[in-house]
Amino acid sequence: MAKQPKMPRMLTHGQVWAALDRLAERAGLSPSGLARRSGLDPTTFNRSKRITPDGRERWPSTESLAKALAASGSSIDTFVQLIGDSARGRHSVPLLAFAQAAGAGHFDEYGYPAGKGWDQVSLSTAAEEHAFALEISGDALKPAYRDGDVIVVSPGTPVRRGDRVVVKTTGGEVIVGELQRRTTKALELASLHPDEAEQTLSTDDVAWIARVMWVRQ
């Protein structure tokens, strides 16, 4: 008889939502993409819907969960395993080659991982739930980052002056730099390469900006 996944002794709100996020990742989707594929309102699984306006925890309904499992081709045993992984503190994030990041379909409008083509990379520490990793190739970002380095990027973490950031423009370009100044009209980035000049972008040209949390070399 096949061994059944062990359910954690006590389910928490965070574990269930983390498992649903992982279910979406396994299908190559964002939470909103999974909701849409499940025939639900695209905001059903959004982070903003997980807490009510008066601060109470909102759990996914059994109906929405059943539809998500069917849409992703997964079983309830798989979902229980994902809950168990969350409870044991296993951490992994979607991984994409940096050269692919400029392509269409890999991110939603918030800079969260979406679509197909993602791999997974294990981390030794927890990351923000929508974090992702980019594997650097080539020498364009030396000396800050070298060929083969993996940077962990957190689109849900506030960005401050002096942070290293990843910016995707509305034209599809992906830029890595250090945030120097941010206003309602412009974004000023210092290059990570000492021979390149500072770059100024209009906020209208910025699709999203996300903070680089750390690098695995």
pTM above 0.85, yes or no: no
List domains and CATH numbers for the chain: 1-89 (1.10.260.40), 92-217 (2.10.109.10)
**What DSSP designation does 49 have?**
G
Nearest to 210 by CA among 144, 127, 117: 127
Radius of gyration of the chain (CA): 19
What are the φ and ψ backbone dihedral angles of 176, each rounded to 5 degrees? -115, 130
Residue 1 has a pLDDT of: 46
**Where are the alpha helices (H) located in 52-168, listed in sequence order?**
62-72, 76-87
pLDDT string in tens for the chain (217-residue length): 444 445 445 678 878 888 888 788 777 777 888 899 999 998 898 877 888 877 788 899 999 999 999 998 888 888 887 777 655 555 678 889 998 998 888 998 889 998 888 887 777 566 677 889 999 988 888 888 888 888 999 988 889 999 999 999 999 999 999 999 999 999 999 998 877 889 999 999 999 999 998 887 6
CB 150 within 8 A of CB 114: no
